[in-house]
Structure 1
Amino acid sequence: MRLCDLKRIVAEAQRAFSNATDPVTLENEKARFLGKTGKLTEFLKNLGKEPEPEVRKSEGARINVAKQQVKVALNMRRQELADDLMNQRLADDAVDVTLPGRCSGTGSLHPVMQTWERVEQIFHSIGFDIADGPEIETDWYNFTALNSPENHPARSMQDTFYLDAKDTQGRALLLRTHTSPMQVRYARMKKPPIKGIAPGRTYRVDNDSTHSPMFNQVEGLWIDKNISFADLKGVYTDFLKKFFERSDILVRFRPSYFPFTEPSAEIDMRFEHGRNAGRWLEISGSGQVHPNVLHNIGLDPHRYIGFAFGSGLERLTMLRYGVDDLRTFFENDLRFLRQFI
């Protein structure tokens, strides 16, 4: 094997690549020199028959240098052909490169997130703080601290999403079933007056046209020395009128039961006009904070009193936009979602 032979093959490959006028021809020429039966590959195969190690080493180095030179020429020609093709396409299509991209588009907030932000803005405008808490909650915060001890009947439809884990104090962990644990978490970080809302994701075993296994809820809390049901009614009624941007809403408080409030009430509303005219629609649960919850917060129930409410953000969104099935919010159908841009 002579050095001049390698130089001749490199020069031949460079000419062949340069003469290739399309990618297919170029790849065929590549196979002629670098393929399994290519000329340089044959050199390497024959090198194995050389008995002298030093000769194999030196000749192998020369062959590798030649292969590298051939690859450089190949890649250069590939780039030239790609550039020629791009220039041809630009000339044929007469593309105006100053125009905006055809596939560009802008995203938008999900309708439930629009409601989330709207709720925050309304309550913040009347002095409520915005609080946030963990979605993986302890059994104590989610149930026990809210006056629902173990085996309490009010747990029957909710204590299902337990995780195979415990916190550092050995308390069971679960996906929170409401944002009500923030009644305790938020209030423990503040001194009265305590006034805030806590929006967030929650999880329950529900799945139909008005319920979902995962849904968003906003919890409201106001604790001070002289907070009454009248304050609750005034705050929530004013919120509904601002949220729905109409003054013809009637509100009623229907007696109910929640373990963390006493007395408790469901909040219903009715429109005087429009699609839901004359219908009472359940919109929220509410009540005055239970003395046991105040005690767990670390407050004296003989000195402090307050109210709490919990509203589903999907329910508010459905009523605001006239959506009949909650599940459509989670199906990712762009035809549905584009209506809210």
Structure 2
Amino acid sequence: MEIEAIGKRLMATVEAASTTEELEAARVAALGKNGELTALLKTLGSMSPEERVSEGKRINEWKAALSGTIAAQKAVLDSEAQNARLAAETLDLSLPAPEAPRGSVHPISQVMDELAEIFADLGFAVATGPEIEDDWHNFTALNMPETHPARAMHDTFYFPDRSAQGREIVLRTHTSPVQIRTMLACVKENPGGAPLRIIAPGRVYRSDSDATHTPMFHQIEALVIDRDIHLGHLKWTLETFLKAFFERDDIVLRLRPSYFPFTEPSVEVDVGYASEGGRRVVGGSGDAPGHAWMEVLGSGMVNHRVIAFGGLDPDKWQGFAFGIGVDRLAMLKYGMDDLRAFFDGDVRWLSHYGFSALDVPTLSGGVGTPV
């Protein structure tokens, strides 16, 4: 009877446990190393063989019953604890997800988009051409004689092979060959060949490298061919373009006589600027106090020989052209001081000067802000 009484009492304690901690305490008290049932099993050694059989059977029956009840009770308590935790925990789906890393638009691509939009508003089309050129399109058709310094090996990247026409092959040194190819294509499609109004953006190559020069850089050139074109049209186009690009109405230009083989007359174009916070800020006259002049591009009226090389009659058609470095424009507008950083691929630099692709940074929507 003592075993029955002890078993019932231990069973009642197990069934009364309301937490996993209480259940574990009841298990240890009954079945642990020093538990009551364990102690009863240790008394079997002092009994007769007949008593050991009968008493041992009852003790093991209670041990099995308690173990089963403890397991069932533990499953119930674990389930209740989990349900309580799930009821208490909440997930606010309205919270924004962590922002994932994303790339950015390179300043060169940003400026290319800005330039294309400005000139599209002025009625210009975009023309492209090969980056591997022959010397006729790159030099001869642009009125550059055989002795011109730009043809020298230390200025131009030459290929060892020649074209099918026997011409030397080079990496183009400017995008001006696109002007020749466009004029020839227009003449082929239309005997008149004009008027035309194009810009030619793209990569160009010269053998040079320092803080303001790299072996590969970007240019954009413009060409207008029409009747009765004069320097006034060129000046107005340049003023309109620069005011739109720098988003300032106080842009002042100074045109200085110069020489380029492919234009006559030729002019260098300067803009007024002031130094603010260690960077150049375009605006105002270069003759104003605290201001100076800075050369930004070369331009002029298209040489009649270049028009003839393009397949047009220079007695009927006139035009102007100008070219400017896209990299230099980006440096000037966005405060960069080393051209080589454009091509280093430094993620830190790109994170600082890059533009968010999701903001669609164009001039019509307001220039995009840096990422």
TM-score range, shorter chain: 0.5 to 0.7
Quote the offset at 1:253 in angstroms. 1.1
* Structure 1 residues 334 and 291, CA gap change in structure 2 (3 angstroms): same
* Counterpart check, 1:336 vs 2:349: yes
Q: What is the match of residue 287 of structure 1?
A: 300
The equivalent position to 1:220 in structure 2, one of 219, 222, 228, is: 222
Q: What is the match of residue 75 of structure 2?
A: none
The equivalent position to 1:138 in structure 2, one of 131, 134, 137, is: 134
Quote the offset at 1:336 in angstroms. 1.5
Q: What is the match of residue 194 of structure 2?
A: 192
Would you say the 8 A contact 2:270–2:293 is kept in 1? yes
* Counterpart check, 1:107 vs 2:109: no
Q: What is the match of residue 305 of structure 1?
A: 318
* Counterpart check, 1:119 vs 2:121: no
Q: Unpaired segments of 5 or more residues in structure 1? A: 1-95
Quote the offset at 1:299 in angstroms. 1.0
Quote the offset at 1:206 in angstroms. 1.6
Secondary structure at the aligned position of 2:258 is classed as: strand
Letter in 2 for 1:298: G
Secondary structure at the aligned position of 2:118 is classed as: helix
Quote the offset at 1:105 in angstroms. 2.5
Letter in 2 for 1:326: L
Would you say the 8 A contact 1:158–1:177 is kept in 2? no
Quote the offset at 1:151 in angstroms. 2.0
Paired with 1:213 and 1:167, the residues of 2 have a C-alpha distance of 23
- Give the TM-score taking structure 2 as reference length: 0.62
Paired with 2:339 and 2:326, the residues of 1 have a C-alpha distance of 11
Q: How many residues align?
A: 246
Paired with 2:245 and 2:343, the residues of 1 have a C-alpha distance of 22
Letter in 2 for 1:320: K
What's the % identity of the aligned pairs?
Answer: 52
Q: Unpaired segments of 5 or more residues in structure 2? A: 1-90, 187-192, 282-290, 356-371
The equivalent position to 1:249 in structure 2, one of 220, 229, 251, is: 251
Paired with 2:247 and 2:307, the residues of 1 have a C-alpha distance of 35
Letter in 2 for 1:303: K
Q: What is the match of residue 232 of structure 1?
A: 234
Paired with 1:284 and 1:132, the residues of 2 have a C-alpha distance of 20
Paired with 2:239 and 2:253, the residues of 1 have a C-alpha distance of 7
Letter in 2 for 1:332: G
Quote the offset at 1:187 in angstroms. 1.4
Quote the offset at 1:104 in angstroms. 3.9
Q: Deviations over 1:13-71 (max 9, x none)?
A: xxxxxxxxxxxxxxxxxxxxxxxxxxxxxxxxxxxxxxxxxxxxxxxxxxxxxxxxxxx
Would you say the 8 A contact 2:158–2:168 is kept in 1? yes
Q: What is the match of residue 42 of structure 1?
A: none
User: Which structure is larger by alpha-carbon Rg, 1 or 2?
Assistant: 2
Root-mean-square deviation (CA, aligned residues, Å) is: 2.2
- Give the TM-score taking structure 1 as reference length: 0.68
Q: Deviations over 1:259-305 (max 9, x none)?
A: 11111111111136854361211111111100110110111111111
* Structure 1 residues 259 and 282, CA gap change in structure 2 (3 angstroms): same
Quote the offset at 1:194 in angstroms. 1.1
